[in-house]
Chain A
Amino acid sequence: MKMRYRLLHTISFFSLMLLVSCTKRLDQKPSDGIIREDYWKTKEQVRAAVIGCYGSLLGDPTNSTAALPELLFLWGELRADMLAPSLGTTASQYEIMNVNTTSSNPIINWRPVYRTINYCNTVIDFAPGVLTNDKTFTQEALNAYVAEAKTIRALLYFYLARSFGDVPLKLSATSSDADITDIAKSSRQEVLNQVIADLNSAEPNAPLTYGNVASDKGRITRFTVNTILADVYLWMEKYAEAIAACDKVINSKRFGLIGSSSAWFNTLYRTGNSNEGIFELQFDAQKLNTFYGMFALSSKQFVAANRVMDMVYTTDEVNGLKDIRSDGASVRATDGLIWKYVGKNSQDLIAQSDSYTHWFVYRYADVLLMKAEALAQLSRGQEALDIVNVIRKRADALEGSNTHPDPANVTEVSRFILEERAREFMFEGKRWYDVLRYVKRNNYAQIDFLLDMVTGTVPANTIRATQTKMKDHNSHYFPIFEYELQTNKQLVQNPFYK
């Protein structure tokens, strides 16, 4: 009898255990990781978390989605007019190039962007708590770290607002299952306002320097903050503010243009972190970028469109002059190979194992041309052209690419700046955003530019359909990826892709 009771008790005990384990009441710490309660104790841990934010910009730590720079390249160039397909072009890339984007296209999956945003949110939420634990951690140091996180977050939301329009604005860390909530989209205006607010709060706290070149170019400094601010203001058509932000960078006298020489390409691009760099994603031998396979292997995904050499840079057969940014810098003219990320110098390819040319988020040339663009809008055409000519002179730009705009004509000057930006930032993931900014200005005054552009980028039998699609302004923004729509019921698809 006694035996039986014991058995009964044992079985009851185990069934109780089953209940308990199901609701995870048995608390155990993982043996192969660290939990939040044990983290956020020292300033070193804060620093590591901030560096982790930068690390996640280089590539997905879990390797399950595309690396962010690859995505930024595709977002900035696929819909523009500088790429041509090659042997390895994928169906989803074609879909976007031909203006047939659907919500099942993996390129429009914004997950890599929001992942890094979450890392930034985590720093912003938890780093202040370290002050109480680590007495050697100062308020000033904390502010600097938070400024870095806020700036990265702002930069990424700026990309999202330009790529998708309205997006969900998540400003707190998702650190446990309880934090997972469906949030609806915020309007692009709200997103941009948040970006401005973050940047303004980061600006006074961001460091001026970290004491070494690699960190000054690879981490957020006050100049990075001002450069992003200028870009956002330009997008929001606030030109006086954009000029003020550019001037802060220019007047610091810390940056300059790398002069034309035989070492120009190597200094500016291949080696990177030059005097011209403001914010570069620091690939190195341990962390390679994905560009070699995209541009240099025989199964390459893209080559440069013919118009890059024929119309954008132009050639000079009589004197044999060339724009230093053209053949041997942006592109190898003989076969259209996209050179910027795979060239060792102007002639030799790098080896695949050396594919660590940086991704250039901002260069000093960008600050100058942004200022010129803002000046042009304020009818200060001659000042704008003076800046553009500095850029052109540095690059030995050819007379064939000079349209000699009338300084008093705002449209002509702006168009000239747009084309100069194409030459200067070829394949740096900026072209589509530059075009869209130009086109949408003053309530889409220049929509015809976009309609003309697509005649050269889509098949001849879909030109009229594509042009009519482009007249719907919602088509300039990506659809929301279908997985996001399924998992977040609050999200509403961009009406163009209904």
Chain B
Amino acid sequence: MKKYIYIPLVVFIAVAALFGNCKKTDLRETTTQDPNILDYLQKDSLQRFTKLLAVIEKTGYSSAMNTYGTYTLFAPTDEAIIIYLKKLNVASIDQLKDSDLKAIIQFHLLEDVVQTSEFTDGKLPSVTMLGQFLITGVVNEGGVSSYRINRQANVAQPNVLTGNGIVHVIDNVLTPSVYTVAKLVEQSSAYSVFTEALKETGYYDSLNSVKNTDGTQRWFTLLAETDQALSDAGFASYAALKKKYCNTGDPKNPADSLHLYVAYHILPDVKYLADIVMASSHETKVPLEVITDKLIDGKKVLINDDEYTTLTGPVHEIGAELDQANSDVSATNGVVHRALSHLAIKVRKPFPVYWDLCSTVSELTRLSSIYRKKTYLFDYGDGATLKDIKWEKSCLKYRNGVTGYLGDYWQVGMGTSSSNTDGLGQCAGNSWIEFTTPMLVKGKYKVWFCYFQQNGDKVINVQGSFDSIPLTSALIQFHQKIASVTDTAGMEALGWKWWAGASKRAGTTASRMLGIIDVKATGRHKIRFNLISGTNSDCNFDMIHFIPVDENQTGRRFNPDGSIEVTPH
């Protein structure tokens, strides 16, 4: 009988084991349960990757793809590899050299996880293991859009997450470029004149090498001009081009204009169109010369298409368009773009920039109820309230109805909070404020700071700096009236001038020469004002004049109603 006592116990335990966890749901939370890239390829339910696996096996990449890491693999399907072999007239992968197979795998593999959301119109953010960049884009075929890699393959299945990286299944094998930038240009019949110029100036050889002398990878971007573009500009042949530009007779001479002309078309980095449009200017191989770029309506990329304002009116320099269909051509050492018109080095003479600090701020001028109508405090917000003005903290006061040019200026409390104008409240004291300048052409300028003097008893010293270089001729003393010297020339010699017109001229309308700057590259720069000592609640920032050193420094005066007076010198 003793035995039977265990039977119900056993039944109890069995039942408990059976039903104790009757609520168990099995939910898959990942796109694939396979842990690593290799496993994913092997366990693919559609058996799409048998050939790719064979290549991986043959080239010894199996272990890498099955161990810890962060990879991106563009995985061609079996059909893709069959197409590729057919193109090469080869029956099977065994007939390909191991080194070629290795190059193929390396070109499909990145040591970084790159999802499709990071794809742009240009290159991927990281380079393939082969050392060439892959470019991406989107194509629309029959109403269906898909990602396109290197203009060679479409993504059939994107973003397969695995334990050691990400897989994008593609429908064609990617083939790396085998030509250098120099060879690409030489092979194209469209660039015969430009190729000759490259050879004559010696740039052909440097554009034809892949490695620097220290063994590192060499990258270039070349903006090549077509024969058509050159002949449109009056250069039917290389001889005509040489005749116009070659001033020393030796195109290899770095100071020769033809040499510089070619160097101006070379950017010392790999920049696809998508990279070019992300910055407003780019260095060239000509020391300190930059090209500027512009994207028009999201369609056209223009080089050196610039607009700026001088006192005589707005200027628009027509730029050269880059042909999108024939640009972004990858080479082993860079990328080639096609320029549709002649692109000569911009020779710009420096011209005076009379910069009103308020009227150039678009965030302000669009406020029709405020601009030139009332005083207003701009919130600090996230620090990016105004695109071209940064300040330390608290708000920034736009002061209207005062004796500044256009009747306004920025009124800043330096070292102490600003005054409470119109009961709007006070902004905390700032120790610095920084402005982005309008475009300045390369050259030397005197910098005149124009302010409206206030609070004569509040001694304050503020120093300006241009692109982080301090301006040392004078500090700005917002409490200081203009020196009581009567002759303009004498005052100019001491670094003072009036900025206001004859009827508004007073000791308070003072302008100080802060220093001479050497603008190295044409473009927009930063000018910053740091508090050195003292406090003043009403530091009035009105205008800054950048006047080329060899030009009349006191030729223009500015009135609150917006009129400008020309003074005889």
Q: What is the interface of chain A, defined by CB distance below 8 A to chain B? A: 1, 4, 7-8, 11-12, 14-15, 18-19, 22, 86-87, 95, 98, 100, 102, 298, 306, 309-310, 315-317, 320-322, 327, 333-335, 452, 454-456, 459-475, 486-487, 495-496, 498
State how many angstroms separate the Cβ of B118 from the closest Cβ of chain A. Answer: 9
CA distance A102 to B363 in the complex (A): 35
Determine if A4 and B5 form an interchain contact, defined as CB atoms under 8 angstroms apart: yes
State how many angstroms separate the Cβ of B341 from the closest Cβ of chain A. Answer: 21
Chain A hits for B136, CB < 8 A: 465
15 pairs, A vs B, C-beta closer than 8 Å: A1-B1, A7-B5, A8-B4, A86-B382, A95-B117, A306-B362, A315-B366, A334-B376, A334-B379, A335-B378, A455-B299, A460-B278, A461-B275, A465-B138, A487-B27
Determine if A11 and B9 form an interchain contact, defined as CB atoms under 8 angstroms apart: yes
Contact pick for A102, options B117, B372, B382, CB 8 Å: B117
CA distance A472 to B379 in the complex (A): 42
Q: Assess whether B562 is interfacial by the CB under 8 Å rule.
A: no
- Known contacts A1-B1, A467-B298; 15 further A-B pairs (Cβ under 8 A): A15-B11, A22-B22, A315-B366, A317-B371, A321-B368, A327-B367, A454-B298, A462-B120, A463-B295, A464-B121, A464-B298, A466-B138, A471-B140, A475-B145, A487-B27
Determine if A15 and B12 form an interchain contact, defined as CB atoms under 8 angstroms apart: yes
State how many angstroms separate the Cβ of B343 from the closest Cβ of chain A. Answer: 21
Chain B hits for A14, CB < 8 A: 12
Q: A11-B8, A22-B22, A461-B121 are in contact. Are A4 and B1 (CB under 8 A)?
A: yes
Chain A hits for B121, CB < 8 A: 461-465
Determine if B145 and A335 form an interchain contact, defined as CB atoms under 8 angstroms apart: no
Interface string of B370-385 (1 = CB under 8 A from A): 1111001011011001
Contact pick for B117, options A98, A317, A496, CB 8 Å: A98
Chain A hits for B373, CB < 8 A: 320
Contact pick for A465, options B1, B137, B299, CB 8 Å: B137
The winner among B1, B117, B145, B370 for most chain A CB atoms within 10 A is: B145
Q: Assess whether B144 is interfacial by the CB under 8 Å rule.
A: yes
Interface string of B259-275 (1 = CB under 8 A from A): 00000000000000011
Q: A98-B117, A100-B117, A461-B121 are in contact. Are A12 and B11 (CB under 8 A)?
A: yes
Nearest A-chain residue to B158, judged by Cβ: A498
Contact pick for A496, options B12, B15, B145, B363, CB 8 Å: B145
CA distance A22 to B24 in the complex (A): 13
Nearest B-chain residue to A86, judged by Cβ: B382
Nearest B-chain residue to A464, judged by Cβ: B121
Q: A335-B378, A462-B121 are in contact. Are A468 and B145 (CB under 8 A)?
A: yes
Determine if B277 and A460 form an interchain contact, defined as CB atoms under 8 angstroms apart: yes
Within 8 A of A (CB), among B108-165: 116-117, 119-122, 136-140, 143-145, 147, 157-159
Nearest A-chain residue to B19, judged by Cβ: A22
Q: A472-B145, A475-B145 are in contact. Are A461 and B117 (CB under 8 A)?
A: no
Determine if B366 and A335 form an interchain contact, defined as CB atoms under 8 angstroms apart: no
Determine if B366 and A333 form an interchain contact, defined as CB atoms under 8 angstroms apart: yes
Q: Assess whether B28 is interfacial by the CB under 8 Å rule.
A: yes
Nearest B-chain residue to A461, judged by Cβ: B274
Q: Assess whether B502 is interfacial by the CB under 8 Å rule.
A: no
Contact pick for A335, options B8, B116, B158, B381, CB 8 Å: B381
Give the 6 A-B residue pairs with the shortest CB-CB distance, closest first: A455-B298, A472-B145, A461-B274, A468-B138, A100-B117, A315-B368
Nearest A-chain residue to B377, judged by Cβ: A334
Chain A hits for B16, CB < 8 A: 15, 18
Determine if A472 and B144 form an interchain contact, defined as CB atoms under 8 angstroms apart: yes
CA distance A385 to B420 in the complex (A): 48
CA distance A466 to B139 in the complex (A): 10
CA distance A309 to B362 in the complex (A): 11
CA distance A464 to B16 in the complex (A): 63
Determine if B277 and A11 form an interchain contact, defined as CB atoms under 8 angstroms apart: no
Chain B hits for A467, CB < 8 A: 298
Contact pick for B143, options A316, A461, A471, A486, CB 8 Å: A471
Interface string of B424-448 (1 = CB under 8 A from A): 0000000000000000000000000
Q: Assess whether B95 is interfacial by the CB under 8 Å rule.
A: no
Chain A hits for B139, CB < 8 A: 468
Chain B hits for A333, CB < 8 A: 366-367, 369
Nearest B-chain residue to A496, judged by Cβ: B145
CA distance A460 to B121 in the complex (A): 9
Determine if A461 and B120 form an interchain contact, defined as CB atoms under 8 angstroms apart: yes
Contact pick for B19, options A18, A320, A335, A454, CB 8 Å: A18
Q: Assess whether B457 is interfacial by the CB under 8 Å rule.
A: no
Q: Assess whether B297 is interfacial by the CB under 8 Å rule.
A: yes
The winner among B22, B138, B147, B385 for most chain A CB atoms within 10 A is: B138
Determine if B145 and A471 form an interchain contact, defined as CB atoms under 8 angstroms apart: yes
Determine if A11 and B12 form an interchain contact, defined as CB atoms under 8 angstroms apart: yes
Chain A hits for B372, CB < 8 A: 317
CA distance A320 to B371 in the complex (A): 10
Chain B hits for A454, CB < 8 A: 298
Within 8 A of A (CB), among B324-371: 324, 362-363, 365-371
Chain B hits for A87, CB < 8 A: 382
CA distance A306 to B298 in the complex (A): 17
Chain B hits for A495, CB < 8 A: 144
Q: A98-B117, A317-B371, A320-B373 are in contact. Are A461 and B1 (CB under 8 A)?
A: no
Nearest B-chain residue to A24, judged by Cβ: B22
Contact pick for A15, options B15, B158, B362, B376, CB 8 Å: B15
CA distance A333 to B158 in the complex (A): 42
CA distance A87 to B101 in the complex (A): 48
Determine if B8 and A15 form an interchain contact, defined as CB atoms under 8 angstroms apart: yes
Nearest A-chain residue to B386, judged by Cβ: A335
Determine if A468 and B140 form an interchain contact, defined as CB atoms under 8 angstroms apart: yes
CA distance A309 to B147 in the complex (A): 35
Determine if B116 and A100 form an interchain contact, defined as CB atoms under 8 angstroms apart: yes
Nearest A-chain residue to B368, judged by Cβ: A315
State how many angstroms separate the Cβ of A21 from the closest Cβ of chain B. Answer: 9
State how many angstroms separate the Cβ of B276 from the closest Cβ of chain A. Answer: 9
Contact pick for B367, options A1, A298, A315, CB 8 Å: A315
CA distance A74 to B144 in the complex (A): 26
CA distance A50 to B413 in the complex (A): 59
Determine if B369 and A320 form an interchain contact, defined as CB atoms under 8 angstroms apart: yes
State how many angstroms separate the Cβ of A228 from the closest Cβ of chain B. Answer: 31
Chain A hits for B157, CB < 8 A: 498
Nearest A-chain residue to B370, judged by Cβ: A334
